[in-house]
Amino acid sequence: METPVLIIAAVLFVLGMLVRKYPNLIAGYNTMTAEQKKNVDVKGLSNFMRRSLCVIAVLMIVSYFVMVARSVNEKAVSVVSTMLIPIIGSIYMVVKAQRYDRNGK
């Protein structure tokens, strides 16, 4: 059961590392015009995305092993580790990433 959690966490961690060097991996930023990209703090945004993705990956792994150690129901462990944490983390990232975009302000 831990294999999907580890795979998803590894993918998120690697994406976090890649998004710093390749900011065009950030959804929304890659579709902006050159004029719009000038109004985005790309360095701050890519750092924020890197930190957020890595934290989500670590939280997934830690929550999985903590819940397994506490003998929590296997289905609950799966839902929290692979679905709930990434969804909440993604919502947080979308909301907080707006501060790096100065378009339309």
Q: Can you give the pLDDT of all 105 residues of the chain as single tens digits?
A: 688 899 999 999 999 999 999 999 998 898 999 999 999 999 999 999 999 999 999 999 999 988 888 888 888 888 888 899 999 999 999 999 999 998 875
Judge whether 105 lies within some domain: no
Global model pTM greater than 0.75: yes
Which amino acid appears at position 28 of this protein? G
Residue 67 lies in a domain: yes
Q: Show the domain range for 61.
A: 2-100
Tell me if 52 sits within 8 A of 91, measured CB to CB: no
In a domain, 10, yes or no: yes
Number of domains in the chain: 1
